[in-house]
């Protein structure tokens, strides 16, 4: 799996790390367990820590979080084909430590 790859079945993404100092970051790291290595991926558009993440339709979403001064309602999505983050509709409330559950129906 490469960072630009479109299939994430064996990859772990870690966006908006919380450092020991509590700093918010825009960096994203990707772990490939097949080769046992971390690497940097494309940075998010804004600083975040304590962010919620989910994968839906092969895109990685980052929900809310904390930017170092306030909670966030913003949502970003990473498109692996374009190798870019973009902002989408924000949540109605500012939230940090968001837990996301994706539900779907099998047809």
Model pLDDT, residue 49:
86
Report the pLDDT value the prediction gives residue 15, as an integer from 0 to 100.
53
Report DSSP letters for 40-102, one per residue: E-PPPSS-BBS-EEEEETTEEEEE--B-SSSBB--EEEEETTTTEEEEEPPPSS-BSS-----
Looking at residue 16, its pLDDT comes to 46
Q: What is the pLDDT along the chain (107 residues), one digit of tens a residue?
A: 334 443 344 445 555 443 333 578 888 888 777 888 888 888 999 998 888 888 888 888 888 988 989 999 999 999 888 989 999 999 999 887 776 666 655 54
Q: Can you give the pLDDT at residue 103?
A: 60
CA distance linking residue 93 with residue 64, whole number of Å: 9
């Amino acid at each position: 799996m490469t960072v630009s790859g479109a299939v994430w079945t064996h990859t772990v993404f870690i966006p908006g790390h919380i450092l020991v100092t509590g700093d918010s970051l825009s960096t994203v790291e990707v772990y490939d367990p097949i080769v046992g290595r971390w690497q940097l991926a494309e940075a998010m558009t804004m600083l975040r820590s304590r962010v919620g993440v989910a994968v839906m339709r092969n895109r990685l979403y980052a929900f809310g979080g904390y930017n170092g001064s306030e909670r966030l309602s913003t949502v970003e999505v990473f498109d692996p084909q374009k190798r870019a983050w973009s902002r989408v509709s924000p949540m109605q409330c500012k939230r940090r430590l968001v837990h996301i559950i994706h539900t779907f129906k099998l047809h």
